[in-house]
Amino acid sequence: MDGCLEGVLVVKFSPRIKFIAITIDELVLVPIAVIIVYFFARQILVPVILLLIVGSVLFVAAKYYLVYPSLQEGTHPIYKMEGTHAMVISRVTGKEGKIKVGAEIWDARCDGPPIEKGTEVVILSRESLKVRVKPVD
């Protein structure tokens, strides 16, 4: 476990619970709209209720198909960096350093001797926003 999370309880929620949590706050607006229409425009209450029901169903369906897949566990392939080559832009040691991967700059660490600026490296692993690297053989 990451040293900064030591002693902290980490709770993982299922994708379904996450989806409900990020959807329910928007759906709370439906009864608020019905109450406002009831008090200020009763003559259009029925069409507004029908419109809100249809709109809510379409909203939840669209959000389900667009957002739900991103709530699944796992990492996006773009962040699977193992084996990617990079260039050292700031001396990499066991404690600090920076590399450039494509257009991005990442914090880097190495297990062996320091790696000097301008050296090509390969990424061994990614831990949060830091990568562990070694020089290309």
Place of tokens 């590399």: 99
Q: Distance (Å, rounded) from C-alpha 101 to C-alpha 3? A: 26
Q: What is the pLDDT along the chain (137 residues), one digit of tens a residue?
A: 444 445 566 677 888 888 888 889 889 999 999 999 999 999 999 999 999 999 999 999 999 888 888 777 665 555 678 899 999 999 999 999 999 998 889 999 999 899 999 999 999 998 878 999 999 98
Contact in structure between 108 and 133 (CB atoms under 8 Å): yes
Q: Distance (Å, rounded) from C-alpha 41 to C-alpha 49? A: 12
Q: Distance (Å, rounded) from C-alpha 86 to C-alpha 117? A: 11
Please tell me the predicted confidence (pLDDT) of residue 126.
87
At position 18, the amino acid (one-letter code) is K
Q: Is beta strand 104-110 parallel, antiparallel or unpaired with respect to 130-135?
A: parallel
What class has domain 77-135? mainly beta
Q: Distance (Å, rounded) from C-alpha 114 to C-alpha 91? A: 7
Instruction: Report the SS3 class of residue 130.
Output: strand
Threshold 0.85, pTM exceeds: no
Write out the H or E segment, with its range, that includes residue 89: strand 85-90
Contact in structure between 71 and 21 (CB atoms under 8 Å): no
CA distances 64 to 18, 20, 50, 58, 69, Å, are: 11, 10, 21, 10, 8
Domain borders along the chain are 12-71, 77-135
